[in-house]
Structure 1
Amino acid sequence: MSRRVASAPAIAAPLGGCAGIQSALAPRGTEAQEIGALFWTVTGVSAAVTILVLVVTAIALRGPDGWCRVLATDRMVVGGGIVLPVVVLSILLVYGLLVMQVGAARSRDAEGLGVTITGKRWWWQVVYEDRDGREIVSANELRLPVGRPVAIRLETDDVIHSFWAPQLGGKLDMIPGRSNTLTLEATEAGVSRAQCAEYCGGAHALMSMYVVALEPDAYEAWLAAEAAPASEPASEPARRGMALFLQNGCGACHAVRGTEADGTIGPDLTHVGGRLSLGAAALPNDADAFARWIADNQHVKPGNLMPPYRNLSRDELAAIAAYLEGLD
């Protein structure tokens, strides 16, 4: 059984029917829950004030003369037009500041090892740091332990991007020359979806990723496996695919640890078969999708930096796809 299936038992259901997988109204993280509570509080207060204004307006237009005279007094104008807005907005301001302060305290307690996500054209490089100080390079998928605040360092190699995982927290920009930090704490195991929330070029809408929250023990086991080099191809088609992968120069752009492939231009493919998607959530992760991406990736994601390999035969594409699918 592949790690793609075994490490995240809650994956199948959300991916089968994606309703809510990127909804800020279905929080699965502490920060998102606080943002949700603030949203509903502000929405409720706004609705109450709107109803109050409509009622007062209706009374002023159609109500008894006595009520109209009361509404026209200076005391009512000052109370309803100055005092009430100041009181309501002050309460909301204090509440918002308290929520922000709680988030700041959680940031100080965030797990020190952390994760660095770098926005690229148009994909995400994800680098984990383990307890031994080693950097574990992955791409286009973020995995987090449940119940632990994790510091996510956000950087960019080119233009401004913005990382937003609505079910886990708020969005934060990735600005050239800067390193911003976003703290996320998942409250339950499962899969959610993140999106680049700042227009960054032609394929901006196709720059997404899945975020997988795992129980702490499962996360540690996954991280240890992710740090290992790629497994040897288990079948003859996969072995042929590995040879074709190297012969066609794929290793000049992509790294597969444990092989001659050591490129840094494109995503690290050491464990690409264990991820939930290809092309930054543009395609599902299966052999057909690998073959389609290799042969016609510009149609899938126009403007990405990988050239299409239309010179490969169908059998050669199938062999390379078998090799990459087995890298879990």
Structure 2
Amino acid sequence: MPKRLANTIPHATSVLISLTLLPLLLLSLLLLLPGCAEERQQSALHPEGEPAQIIAGLWWFMFYLLGAVFIIVMGVAAWAVFRPRIEPGEGDADEPVGDRFIIVSGIALPSIVLVVLLVYSLTVTVSLRQPDSAVTIEVIGHLWWWEVRYPDHGIITANELHIPAGEPVHLKLSSADVVHSFWVPQLHGKMDMLPDHVNTFWIQAGRPGTYRGQCAEYCGEQHARMSFHVVALERDEFDQWLARRAQPAREPTTDVHRSGQRAFMEAGCNTCHAISGTEAHGRAGPDLTHMGSRPSIGAGQWPNNYANLAGWIANPQSLKPGNHMPRSYLDADELHEITTYLLSLE
């Protein structure tokens, strides 16, 4: 094989690989773009609170800085691939790469980039220190739902947090079983929830609204269906919500509701669930004191309406396999009465 042809083959191969990979990279980026334009309810890049804005700022800083590094590296790689070839013995082809180039591109520039990232990330860490807060909420992760307590007000609920907008909220996070992770992307980063240990955390919503949260640590079969919502209210609305939720459950006012309460107790639902003001004091499952006012069931999976709630009571394993609530064997009248009673608990 001629010497010049032998030197040309590796060059042609490099060009072919580059021309193949570049379109694939661009196509991959284009395929990802639609995901950035749809639902923003769980997007860390669309922050709605001070801590989330700080974290998003770090992300964008890293994106632009490392994007510039990527472009420079690709430019140098392209120059190496497409620059004119010099045959051995011609010009400076036998001269080694200069030490200055190696020191600058291989040591100095990467060190500067890493130091800049370290300093900026430390600044972000300091700025995320927990501020003083007038509201404390305890959140306990279960398989696969969230227990939410307001210890200063004697309120226990499930799968939803109500907070005052514009104020930092102190969180005490723990787990009743395995490791979970609390994450509301639009309000803050992630924090692990550990058995027999309490991690302190905080969130803040800049304006009223509903923000979706998710367990961010794989915790078993229904991990993907372990979500919750944070509802941020104006301060006066939040105070009104606290006052309403601190009240015991509404007394049954109709025959159907009274029959439903009686069927609830006789079916043994009270051994796992609590309803304040009644004989139901169970703690294995979610507190149902104000069940009728909740927007969803199954840890944020289905709207809380008659059909979904009745289906859940009848056979929760068909909707969320592996959860700890067993199938019930109620007749049609009992199922109707219990469902109607729970929906009346507003």
TM-score, reference length from structure 1: 0.87
How far apart, in 1, do the equivalents of 2:184 and 2:55 lie? 12
Amino acid paired to 2:106: G
Deviation at 1:74, TM superposition (A): 2.0
Report what 1:11 is aligned to.
Answer: none
Report the 3-state secondary structure (helix = DSSP H, G, I; strand = E; otherwise coil) of the residue aligned with 1:111. Answer: coil
User: Which of the residues 45, 57, 64 maps onto 2:65?
Assistant: 45
User: Which of the residues 131, 136, 140 maps onto 1:114?
Assistant: 136
Correspondence 1:95 to 2:115: no
Q: Which runs of 5+ in 1 are unaligned?
A: 1-17
Report what 1:191 is aligned to.
Answer: 210
User: Which of the residues 123, 126, 139 maps onto 2:158?
Assistant: 139
How far apart, in 1, do the equivalents of 2:64 and 2:262 lie? 62
Report what 1:128 is aligned to.
Answer: 150
How far apart, in 2, do the equivalents of 1:22 and 1:174 lie? 20
Amino acid paired to 1:114: T
Deviation at 1:76, TM superposition (A): 2.3
How far apart, in 1, do the equivalents of 2:254 and 2:39 lie? 37
User: Which of the residues 160, 167, 171 maps onto 2:190?
Assistant: 171
Correspondence 1:82 to 2:119: no
How far apart, in 1, do the equivalents of 2:186 and 2:96 lie? 45
How far apart, in 2, do the equivalents of 1:42 and 1:52 lie? 15
Report what 1:54 is aligned to.
Answer: 74
How far apart, in 2, do the equivalents of 1:234 and 1:78 lie? 82
CA contact (8 A) 1:164 1:170 kept: yes
Deviation at 1:217, TM superposition (A): 1.2
Please report the RMSD computed on the Cα atoms of aligned residues, expressed in angstroms: 2.2
* Deviation larger for 199-208 or 228-237: 228-237
Provide, for residues 72-125 of structure 1, a one-character-per-residue CA deviation record: whole Å limited to 9, x for no partner: 432222112111111111111111111110111xx1x23144111011121111
Q: CA 1:234 to 1:70, structure 2 compared with 1: closer, same or farther past 3 Å? A: farther
Deviation at 1:170, TM superposition (A): 0.8
Amino acid paired to 1:27: P
How far apart, in 1, do the equivalents of 2:76 and 2:49 lie? 40
Q: CA 1:61 to 1:236, structure 2 compared with 1: closer, same or farther past 3 Å? A: same
CA contact (8 A) 1:241 1:316 kept: yes
How far apart, in 2, do the equivalents of 1:268 and 1:317 lie? 19
Report the 3-state secondary structure (helix = DSSP H, G, I; strand = E; otherwise coil) of the residue aligned with 1:270. Answer: coil
Deviation >3 Å, runs of 4+: 63-66, 68-72
Deviation at 1:314, TM superposition (A): 2.4
Amino acid paired to 1:284: P
Q: Which runs of 5+ in 2 are unaligned?
A: 1-37
Report the 3-state secondary structure (helix = DSSP H, G, I; strand = E; otherwise coil) of the residue aligned with 1:98. Answer: helix
Report the 3-state secondary structure (helix = DSSP H, G, I; strand = E; otherwise coil) of the residue aligned with 1:202. Answer: coil
Report what 1:226 is aligned to.
Answer: 245
Correspondence 1:315 to 2:333: yes
Report what 2:18 is aligned to.
Answer: none
How far apart, in 2, do the equivalents of 1:272 and 1:79 lie? 65
Report the 3-state secondary structure (helix = DSSP H, G, I; strand = E; otherwise coil) of the residue aligned with 1:315. Answer: helix
CA contact (8 A) 1:60 1:71 kept: no
Correspondence 1:31 to 2:54: no
Report what 1:7 is aligned to.
Answer: none
Report what 1:326 is aligned to.
Answer: 344
CA contact (8 A) 1:140 1:280 kept: yes
How far apart, in 2, do the equivalents of 1:284 and 1:38 lie? 36
Structure with higher RCO (Cα < 8 A, 6+ apart): 1
Report the 3-state secondary structure (helix = DSSP H, G, I; strand = E; otherwise coil) of the residue aligned with 2:299. Answer: coil
Report what 1:9 is aligned to.
Answer: none
User: Which of the residues 262, 266, 273 maps onto 1:243?
Assistant: 262
TM-score, reference length from structure 2: 0.83
Amino acid paired to 1:214: L
How far apart, in 2, do the equivalents of 1:33 and 1:284 lie? 30
CA contact (8 A) 1:113 1:129 kept: no
Deviation at 1:59, TM superposition (A): 2.2
State how many pairs are aligned. 304
How far apart, in 2, do the equivalents of 1:305 and 1:20 lie? 32
How far apart, in 1, do the equivalents of 2:111 and 2:96 lie? 19
Deviation at 1:71, TM superposition (A): 11
Q: Kindly name which structure, 1 or 2, has the bigger radius of gyration based on alpha carbons.
A: 2
Amino acid paired to 2:141: G
Identity of aligned residues (%): 46
